[in-house]
Amino acid sequence: MSSNNSSQKVVTVDEQAFEKAGEQAVDEDGFPVVDETPEFEAAVEQETQAKVDANHPDGIADTSDDRIHGVTLEQEERIRAREAELERISAQAELGTQDGREQRTREVASQGSTKRRREFQKRAASVDPMADPERDDPRAELSQDELATVNTEADRLATRLDGWSRAAISRRLAEAVVDGTDMTSAVVRVFEELQTARGGTVPIDALEDVDRGTVTIEGRVKTLWDSDSPAIQQVGLIADESGQTKVTIWKASDAPWIEEGEKVRIHEAATNWYEGRISVAVTGWSIIHFPERGRWWEA
């Protein structure tokens, strides 16, 4: 049989009070100093919310320097939202004072340009009523029979005029008819105007009626001959169903060589007059196309 002997130091209540008093600061008179500064402690709800925010997955995952330390996620979201709102207001203010002013200036300039153009068209309408910007489509002023005739003639002319649509031709015919021209004269006038207009292929016999320096012609090379001038690459005759004319290809144009008997289309050919006759020349601005042999650079 054994016995366990244990010794414990028994501390009385007075001794505990004395020890606490010894730990407390005293003033020069020996009286204990009482700290009157209130101690602020978080409420239970605040402590709970802080623990939730601190252990939130988003808060744990985001450890970058972009996080605002010392605030809860809710407070950080409010701060971020306020900063974004201030940036948006600042951007709107800048747009209203700078970019907005530029946009308004463009709108005013555009409105002024449109107004001046309409005023010019109205002045032109005093000479040519068809130029009136407020005038409706002239085809609406035709009777049903006149409109049918205009459309028929427009279909026929469209097959003979390169680059002009049936609608454009019918409008020009309607303008002439509304102006008082009979249908036959209107067809002749519109055909002559459009066949020499820029962008279309001009018949060779109509070159004399063209009032500009360059034309587009198409025909077959009838003959070629040598030139005494070293500046000339080739010279010959080109002909279509309406007639023929002389064509000169300058060496400086760097154009491809043409051959007798082949069909060519020359864009931007320069017109020249010599001894009362008109001819064309291929310059550096001209383009020669060979419809029957494809692209000349692939030949």
pLDDT digits (tens, 9 = 90+) for 226-242: 888 999 999 999 999 88
Q: How far apart are CA 244 and CA 217, in angstroms?
A: 11
* Residue-range domain boundaries for the chain: 138-195, 204-298
**CA torsion through residues 203, 207, 212, 216, sign:** positive
Confidence of residue 188 (pLDDT cuts 50, 70, 90): confident
pLDDT tens digits for range 86-121: 888 877 666 555 555 666 666 767 676 666 666 665
- Burial (CB count <10 Å: 0-12, 13-18, 19+), residue 214: middle
What's the Cα-to-Cα distance from 66 to each of 69, 73, 79, 125, 161, rounded to whole Å?
9, 13, 12, 69, 72
- Helical spans, DSSP H, in the chain: 13-23, 44-54, 57-61, 73-94, 100-125, 144-158, 166-178, 183-195
Q: What residue has token string 């009157």?
A: 36
pLDDT of residue 68: 66
Higher-scoring residue by pLDDT: 11, 196? 196
Say what the pLDDT of residue 192 is.
76
Higher pLDDT, 115 or 272: 272
Which residue in 227, 205, 220 sits closest to 278, CA to CA? Answer: 205
Residue 285 has pLDDT above 70, yes or no: yes
Share of the chain above pLDDT 70, in %: 58
pLDDT of residue 97: 56
Find the range with the poorest average confidence among 37-51, 121-135, 193-207, 282-296: 121-135
Residues whose CB is less than 8 angstroms from the CB of residue 226 and which lie 6 or more positions away in sequence, other chains included:
235
Global pTM exceeds 0.75: no
Residue with the bigger pLDDT between 161 and 180: it is 180
Q: pLDDT averaged over the chain?
A: 75
pLDDT at 190: 84
Place of tokens 């001009």: 202
Interhelix angle 183-195/166-178, rounded to 10 degrees, is 130
CATH code that applies to domain 204-298: 2.40.50.140
Query: pLDDT tens digits for 138-152?
Result: 888 888 888 899 999
pLDDT: which is higher, 273 or 248: 248
Other residues' Cβ atoms within 10 Å of the Cβ of residue 219: 22
List Cβ neighbours of 79 (8 Å cut-off, separation of 6 or more).
68, 71
Task: Please state the separation of Cα 7 from the chain's center in Å.
Answer: 98
Pairing of strands 244-250, 232-239: antiparallel
Q: Which pLDDT band, with edges at 50, 70 and 90, does 80 fall under?
A: confident
Which of the pair, 62 or 79, is modelled with greater confidence? 79
* 190-203 average pLDDT score: 74
| CA-to-CA dists, residue 128 to 180, 192, 213, angstroms | 13, 19, 27
Query: pLDDT-based confidence at 262, cuts 50/70/90?
Result: very high
